[in-house]
Copies of this chain bind each other. A is one copy, B any other.
Amino acid sequence: MVHAINHGEYERILREAGVRITRPRKVILEILADRDDHPDAMAIFRRAVRVDASISLSTVYRTMKLLEDKGAIHRHIFEGGRSRFEPADASHHDHLIDIDTGAVIEFTSKRIEELQKEIARKLGYEIVHHRLELYGRKRK
C-alpha cells in the first residue's frame, strides 16, 4: 500500500496541534514517511540513530504516542508483544501477517465489514472499531 503522506504532512498536523517541530521529531517523521512497512518502536529507533545518534528510545515512544493522539498514525498490537505503527492516511484495511517473516500485507473486504456490522447489530452492539488479522504462511 502506498502512503500519500509525507513528513511535511505530519509536521502540519503537529504544528496545528501547537506542538514544536524539533530535530528528533523531524528525523522520526522522515523515517515514518520514508518507509512503507509496519515498524515497531525499536526498529524506528534503530533507523533514527543512524541519522542522529543522540536520539533516545523514549523520544521515539513519546513521538509515537503523540502522533497516535493526533490521529496521524495507527498502533497495532499483532502477536508477539510489541506495538507496530503505520501512517493513518491510508484508508481502512485489515492485515495478513506472514508468520515466518513478520511481513504485513494489507487487504480490505467490504463484504466482511458488512457482515461484522450485521453481527454486532444482532447482538445489540454498535462497532467502535475492530481488528481482523490473518496469520498465515506462503503457499508453495
Contact = CB atoms under 8 A, between A and B. Distances in A.
Interface of A: 77, 79, 96, 98-99, 105, 107, 109, 111-112, 115-116, 119-121, 123-139
Contact of A131 (B125, B132, B139): B132
A109 B139 CA distance: 25
A125 B119 contact: no
A54 to B, nearest CB: 31
A104 B138 CA distance: 32
B121 A139 contact: yes
Contacts of A119: 96, 107, 109, 134
Contacts of A123: 96, 105, 107
A138 to B, nearest CB: 6
Given A119-B109, A120-B96, A130 B125 contact: no
Contact of A116 (B120, B125, B128, B134): B134
A123 B94 CA distance: 13
A127 B120 contact: no
A136 B120 contact: yes
A21 B62 CA distance: 47
